[in-house]
Structure 1
Amino acid sequence: MTLARARVPSGPPSSYRHDLAVYESPEQLVAVAAPFLRAGLAAGEAAVIAVEDSCAGLLLDALGDDDGIVVVERNGVYGTRAPAAITAFRKLAQERISAGHSRVRVVGDTDFGPTAREWLEWQRYEAVINQALRTQPLWGLCVYDARRLPDQVLEAGLHTHPHLVSEHGRRPNPDYVEPADYLRSLPVPVEPMEATEPLLQVDDVSDFIGLRHAVGERLAGLGGDPDRVEDLHLAIDEMSSNAVRHGAPPVQLRLWASGDRVVCRISDRGSGMDDPFAGYGPAHGTDLSRGGMGLWLARQLCDNVDVIDAGAGLTIRLATALH
């Protein structure tokens, strides 16, 4: 698929800004990030530092004492899953605006994890937040350590940030790709366990209650962390229910397990879903009474969620570690 180059800025008016700075030394990070935060403080904006501890210390030394500076633990903001990070940034914006600041500037350093599977989840996140945070009074400066991050992640950063920042200033990013186009271009990862014999196979779900019990019995025998197993069971329950209610028969389920990981694939023959942003927030915004929370919940409960629409129905693939 050819990625569509965006005009910068594009889309509806937005208060959210999403910039990228690639650095090769702590000194270079400070040279870029400190002026960014200092300018915000001078304008009455809050300055939030969400980077690893050594870099946070260098930034604090460069900025000095100021009541507008907030240092947050990096993993406390980004957490382990993208929907939690989006929720954390919305909450952060609300708190700082309520404290009297006009906007919130954030220098953030995402922990992309050690594997390509984890990188993919955060690549998706970097594209999604252009849409998910578009109305928030936030100005994010994502800082990427070129010495540490793999080429795949660095390339993703160049496709997901509308502006680039360096010691020479801020400029539009010619490599930025419209978020929906970028998300659709990402590959569906191969899941090796799907080539093995499933632990549970249901070819036409007709008894939803019976399916729930059957899944629960299989998961209970795996000996994993009880909280993780319970989270996965709830996510499978939500996605199976969605397939029955909103898809078309037959609804099929496959469950695989290894010594440390579980994969579940739920498919239906409905009209599919061409929304690359689905599940990164409730479908109906803050009105949770209207439902639409199933995929959003699954993304928070599982390590990996893949939405696969190949033109013959919809498949949701869930995966999570047992420990």
Structure 2
Amino acid sequence: MMRAEFDHPGLLYRDLDEYLAGTTEFVYSAVAAGDAVLVAVPGGNLAPLRDSLADVADAVIFADMTVAGRNPGRIIPGVLLAFAAAHAGRRVSIIGEPIWPERSDVEYPACAAHEALINSVFAGRDAAILCPYDAVRLDDDRLRDAWRTHPVMITGGDRRPSPWYTDPLATAARFNQPLPPVPAGAAVVRFASVRDLARIRSSVAAYAERAGLPAARADDLVAAVNELAENTILYTPAGGVVSVWAEAGHLACQVDDDGHLADVLAGRVPPAAHVEGGRGLLLANLLCDLVRIHTRPGGTSIRLHMAG
């Protein structure tokens, strides 16, 4: 039977039995068809799903989404596209559960934007991505967004077209939301040229050390901030501001400038190998635990979070 090039259903589940019924059916069908199969779900769902798929486990790659997809902006480039590239020439079938009840309100806009952007990034690809949603513990707003970001929804075992699905780029743009204000006590470094980059790196590194961030994580944060500051210098002649502060459980760093980041896919899709530039935001997504962006004409704010 001919299958669609790209299928992106959302699965609403109300208990573990319903979860396992929908996900295992998807995996068994994909394995039987010879697809490359990835299961990337939160740890609490990963163990029972792996156990239920024990007889085909050697044909499935498993990943804990709370690790692989801790930063929602990392999932498309670092999980989905990476898996597809590793299995070029084969249809890929993926279970990806990027939204679980413990996701914070600060993380959520990046999660919902991710779900919308999958439709644009994978359009025309020979792939299927099933996204489960906990219909009991997720709030109504998040469940409504699932209907907006998936062309098809599965509920009670039935597939139905979503009447609320619309242009994915426009839907993703709905989650371009203002960030919480930078705290008054944040350390601030203003910059305008490449001569300022060393000062930015040393300031962020020193703050990270005082905050107790492990050295490897501090190095990653410094590298990400440096890349974003370089982008500001290249594309916004007025320069920008780096702010750093500690929050409960993590270090936050924000880069503000007067540019407008019009491409909603920036940082989610790796540029072609022959293209120069375009990797700064991608690197930040791959290195950091959360990247939130708010952009508008006359200004862009990019906030990085790094857990201790």
What TM-score comes out, normalization by structure 2 length?
0.82
Within-5 A mapping of 1:152-301: 152-167=141-156, 169-192=158-181, 194-202=182-190, 204=192, 207-208=195-196, 209-258=198-247, 260-270=249-259, 272-282=260-270, 284-285=271-272, 287=273, 290-301=276-287
Q: Which amino acid aligns with 1:90?
A: L
**Unmatched 5+ stretches in structure 1:** 1-13
- 1:20 and 1:142 in contact (8 A); partners too: yes
SS in structure 2 of the partner of residue 281 of structure 1: coil
Q: Which amino acid aligns with 1:130?
A: N
Q: Sort the Cα spacing of 1:155 and 1:196 in 2 relative to 1 into closer, same or farther, 3 A.
A: same
SS in structure 1 of the partner of residue 138 of structure 2: coil
- 1:229 and 1:322 in contact (8 A); partners too: no
Q: CA deviation at 1:115?
A: 1.5
Q: Which amino acid aligns with 2:81?
A: R
| 1:318 and 2:303 matched | yes
User: Partner of 1:72 in structure 2?
Assistant: 62
| 1:28 and 2:18 matched | yes
User: Partner of 1:90 in structure 2?
Assistant: 81
User: Partner of 2:49 in structure 1?
Assistant: 56
**Unmatched 5+ stretches in structure 2:** none
- 2:73 and 2:291 in contact (8 A); partners too: no
- Matched residue pairs, number? 299
Q: CA deviation at 1:84?
A: 3.7
Higher strand proportion (structure 1 or 2):
2
In terms of mean alpha carbon deviation, does 69-78 or 298-307 score higher? Answer: 69-78
In terms of mean alpha carbon deviation, does 227-236 or 250-259 score higher? Answer: 250-259
Q: Sort the Cα spacing of 1:38 and 1:316 in 2 relative to 1 into closer, same or farther, 3 A.
A: same
Q: Sort the Cα spacing of 1:173 and 1:243 in 2 relative to 1 into closer, same or farther, 3 A.
A: same
| 1:306 and 2:292 matched | yes
Q: CA deviation at 1:76?
A: 8.1
Within-5 A mapping of 1:89-128: 89-96=80-87, 102-110=90-98, 112=100, 113-128=102-117
Q: CA deviation at 1:276?
A: 1.2
Q: Sort the Cα spacing of 1:181 and 1:92 in 2 relative to 1 into closer, same or farther, 3 A.
A: same
Q: CA deviation at 1:277?
A: 1.2
What TM-score comes out, normalization by structure 1 length?
0.78
Q: CA deviation at 1:144?
A: 1.4
Q: CA deviation at 1:20?
A: 0.8
User: Partner of 1:9 in structure 2?
Assistant: none
- 1:82 and 1:280 in contact (8 A); partners too: no
- 1:49 and 1:108 in contact (8 A); partners too: yes
CA displacement, residues 7-43 of structure 1 (integer Å, 9 cap, x when unaligned) = xxxxxxx832211110112232344334434443444
Q: Which amino acid aligns with 1:319?
A: L
